[in-house]
Every structure is written in C-alpha cells, then in structure tokens.
Amino acid sequence: MCGIVGALAFQNSVFDVTEPYIARMRDTMVHRGPDGGGTWISNDGRIGLGHRRLSIIDLSDVANQPMCNEDETVWVVFNGEIYNHAALRGELEAMGGHRWKTSHSDTEVILHAFETWGIDCIHKFRGMFAIALWDGIRRELWLIRDRIGIKPLYYSAHHGRLTFASEIKALLQDPDQKRAVHEEAFYHYLSFLTTPAPQTLFAGINKLPGGSWIRVRENGDILENRYWDVWEHTKPLTDIAEEEIATLVLEELRTAVQLRKVSDVPVGVFLSGGIDSSTNAALFSEGECSRVKTFSIGYDGDYQSYRNELHYARKMADFVGAEYHERVLTLDDLLAFLPRMVQLQDEPLADPVCVPVYYVSKLARDNGVIVCQVGEGADELFWGYPTWKRALKLQSLNDLPVPKCLKKAGLHVLKDAGRSERPYYEWLRRGAFDQPIFWGGAEAFTEEQKQRLLSPRLRKAFWGYSSWEALRPIRDRFQSTAWERSPLNWMTYLDLNLRLPELLLMRIDKMSMGVSLEGRVPFLDHKFVELAMSIPSAVKTRSGNLKHILKKSVRGLIPDELIDRRKQGFGVPVYEYFFDRLGLETAAILDDYCVRTEFFDRSEVSRLVQQRRPEVWNLLNFALWWKEYIQGL
C-alpha cells in the first residue's frame, strides 16, 4: 500500500518535470508510505513518477518504486496489492523472456505482465490497485483503477501537462493547479454525501471511476475506457439449488479471505460483532497457528441513535480465540479529530463513520498490525440494510399501474400543503418522472430540500436540474447489460458504482492510510462480487429476511446469536452529539461560513442546525473543507 504521483508534459509545452516538483507532491503523502520514497524523471524532462512506500510484500529495497523493466522502457508506480501475483509470476516465468530482480514483488509482476500482454494484463490481476505505467516506446501513460474502485486515483490536465496522484492534496502542490469549487459536483454532494466519479469538488480535478483506465499521449489526447462491468462476468444461477448456492458463496469467500492474508507484515481484522466482520474473523482464523488480532470501537454510553456492539465483538473474539483489542470513543475524540479528518479526506466524505474508522485503524497500528481486513460490501451484495427493504416496497407501489398524470397531480397537492420537503414527496416525484425510487444507500438532501438550502444564485443556476443526471449513465448501463433488471439488482449495481467506491471505500482508504495502515475488503473481491451478482434476487430476498443466503452460508461458522440478532450498522451518535458541544461548534462554523460565501441560504442552514438534523454533518464537512482547501490555499 502506497501513495503514487506523477506528471506528463505534453508536446510543445514549455513545462519541464523536475525531481523537486515530483518530490514535493509525493511527500504530501508520507502517511501513505512512511517506509521510503522514490522518484524517476526521464532524461528529457517530459515524464516523472513518484512513490511513497508502505512495505507489505517483499520488504527488500530492490522492490522499491518507481520500478522499471530490464531495458528501462517501461516504468511503474503502484498502490495496492495483486493477491495472485505468485501464480502470475509462475506463468510469466514459464513463458520466459524476462529477467527478474526481486524475489516476490507484485510490482515487478505488473511490469512483466504489461510487457507480455499489454493493457489486457489487468484482466489477470486479482486485487486492489491504482497503477500508473509509462510505456517509453509508444510514449503513452496509462492510469488504471481496480474493478471495484477500492484504491483512489486522481488526475488533472492543465497548462500543457497531466498530473496524477493517490490524493488530491498532492496535485495541489502544483502552483498552477486551479483551486475552486466544482459547483455541479457540489450539487451532487448534497445528495450523495460524496461526489460521483469522474467529478471531484475541485474544478479541474477528476477521479478515475472504478473498473476504468485512461491512456494519455504526449499530444494531450486522453482516452478513457471502462474495462470491467460486473454484468459482463455473471453466470445466472437460476437452476441451482439454494443449498448449493450457499456452499458456493462460502467457498468463494473463503478463497477471498485467504488471498488477503498474503503479507510479509502482521495482518489483523476489524471486528464489530456483526455477520460480516465476524465471518472475516472466523475465516481468517482457519489454519492459523497464532491468535488473530482483532480491533473494535465503541462509545462511552449507549445512545439512542447508536448502541454499543462491543459485547458482540468480544463474544466473537472469544469464539475464534482471537487477541482482542478495543477502544471507547468520546465526543472529545471526535472534536479533536475534525481538523485532521478534513485534511485526510481531501474532499468531503459526509459520513461520520470516518471518525471510528480512523480510531480503529490507529488502534491496530498502535498494536503492531499494518494490514487489516474489513467487512465492507456484504450489505450491498446480499440485501443487508433495513432501508433497502423499505425501498423495495416503495418501488413495488410505484410500479402499480397508476397514470403519471395522477402522480404529478399528487405532487401539486403535496406542495400546496407545504409537504414538499417530506421524503414521500421526493419518492412520488421520482415515480412521476419514470425514475427508480432508489438513488443510493446514502442520501442527504432531496431535490426540493436543496432548492431551499442553496443561495439565490445557485438556486437559479440549478433550477430544473436534478442529481438524476449523475445516475443516468449508471442506469443506462444497468438497463442495457443486467441479466436480471430487478429493483434489488439496480440497488446493488448503483451502490457498486457510487456509494461503495466514492464513499465507503474512500473512508476506509483515507482514514486507514492516515495512520499508515492498509485495509483489505474480502467481500469486494471481484470474483466474489461476480458470484454474488449471479444469484437471483428471489434467493437473496427469500421470506423477507435480510442477508438470507449469506446467513445460510455462514451458519455453523459463526454463532447463531450473531447471525440472528437485529441488524445495526457501524455508526456514530451524531444526533446526541449535536445537542452537546458539537452542536454549538457547528452552529458557529456554519454561520460564519454563510456570511463569508454564497453557497447556502443562511436562514435555512440556521433552521436545520436548530432542528439538530443529521444532514447538518454534510454542511459542516463542506464548510470545514472549504476553509482548509479553498480559502486556506
């Protein structure tokens, strides 16, 4: 796990890439790679690569990056892990024609795989990765993000050059990089708690979508390609017994966990006591000679909005004989972390779970662990959220043969009655315009609420506009490629393309790497995802039980008490904190922000703060980010 940066100067550009320029960008990310840093600059000053290293596979200096092939015609910097690198190395060695300088570096496997198979080599990789490859013969730069989007990769084309990095703060070290709010991305952020790729909140800076690559040529031409879509790799399990499907799920998950144990440094498990993390802990413990280290977070009280799960985590740790570590967080911990959180995020991730993720990562690192397995993805793949059950019911009601004219008439009635801010108004609005009810597993403000929230200038600019525009391309792909176009499959596919890569996985990457810890996600192994998306929706939703088929798969592996207990997500008692000092600080920060800028309607923000609405966290994140990255630079 590392941090990568680089720059390519286009033809006829007067800009030269230099070592100090690359090193300055690289060293904004020391937290991503405290074990060393390297640079490579081409002799003509047209291309430069930089790397910060967190040593995990092949700890020797010969595995340092940037790394080149035998004749120095191909160079690579790489963030992530190729879990099947040993098998690929064996395949390449059998073919001959390569000289190897490392004993078992996955980075060197990338180099020789690219030499052998070209860009198609990425179809052979099983892992998480953000890769930059310079082909010195064809004079092409390739930027690649893994299939699911577990690792981030940002880029910007400006002033005769293209720059890229694992974090936006590195790109901001370029003195010519524009620092301004991307207002359309800001509009979508208010809906989704994050910005949909390829946009970021910085005008002129993009993020590469998951499952995509771009090829950049010296003349400035940029070609983007989506090289993976889950629907191209599914085999519908329509004629297979449920028991056999459950067996397949457990077998593939066991493989995914075992692959993610590959490491030359200590590996542990984040443990909440829920099904997902408990399954990780159980599968990780199989075949281990030593006790697995687990790490858990709780709070200094049982709040109404979030009840501690530590007793479940302890129970699971005892069940597998793990070495158990926990930390109890307070409001003081949250307030102390806010400035650092904003710095690490680069752009707002309006999910307060960033706070416990940071602290559980720090707990692991403080106890000598450098890699941890986490449970993200299972809820999205196996219908794990109670809110999703409600969304399916709402969609079935919307699908009743009711004329659209009646739905639109209902909108007028609700608006005249002052009910346009209510969630059911937005659901009816979507149905009236032939849009699906589900817009993602994390939503903040509806379209009507945003109109009230925005300043007069932005209200006018976005009049008649909708964040559906950000979802339309995803919907089009779903409609044209899904083997089963069910509402549940739409929900999973949308979150695989938006909420997971740009919010949940971003918070894992940013917060864990903030303490130099690597997070691995077995449930999002692409082979496991392909299997999960091959399961019919009816099997996943059998008897109306959330996670029905996953529970069937792991029963007997973990205690029934953990399988059958009520679902509770990993959360933060923000609602209660807003009645304490967090509320007072938030009110002061947002009021000052509204006075200084023209993004929000001040009176509407004040009303939301007084009501202690959870969505205020989104506004606080944005205001703190603006102060740190726009005003402060």
Could you tell me where the DSSP H helices lie in 286-401?
A: 310-320, 331-345, 354-366, 378-381, 386-398
| Interior angle at CA 164, CA 161 and CA 166, nearest 5 | 165
CB 590, CB 604: distance < 8 Å: no
Locate tokens 């940002």: which residue? 154
Residues 77, 121: Cα–Cα separation, whole Å? 16
Residues 6+ apart with CB under 8 A from 614: 574, 575, 578
What is the 3-state secondary structure of 72-130?
A: CCEEEEEEEEECCHHHHHHHHHHHCCCCCCCCCCHHHHHHHHHHHHHHHHHHHCCEEEE
CB 207, CB 197: distance < 8 Å: yes
Closest CA to 68 of 94, 107, 33, 35: 107
Residue 22: Cβ within 10 Å count: 27
CB 210, CB 149: distance < 8 Å: yes
3-state DSSP call for residue 386? Answer: helix
Q: What DSSP line would sit under 3-44, residue for residue?
A: EEEEEEEPTT------HHHHHHHHGGGGGG-BT-EEEEE-TT
| Sign, Cα dihedral of 561, 567, 572, 576 | negative
Residue 390: Cβ within 10 Å count: 12
Residues 281, 79: Cα–Cα separation, whole Å? 25
As to burial, measured by CB atoms within 10 angstroms (0-12 exposed, 13-18 middle, 19+ buried), residue 630 is: middle
3-state DSSP call for residue 324? Answer: strand
Strand ranges (DSSP E) for 176-335? 206-207, 212-217, 222-226, 267-270, 293-299, 323-329
CB 484, CB 536: distance < 8 Å: yes
Residues 500, 494: Cα–Cα separation, whole Å? 9
Locate tokens 């297979």: which residue? 240
CB 48, CB 17: distance < 8 Å: yes
594 is catalytic: no
Tokens of 305: 């909005």
- Run of H or E residues at 47: strand 47-53
Residues 274, 488: Cα–Cα separation, whole Å? 22
Determine which one of 2, 121, 354, 594 is catalytic: 2
CA 385 centroid distance within chain: 18
Residues classed as catalytic: 2
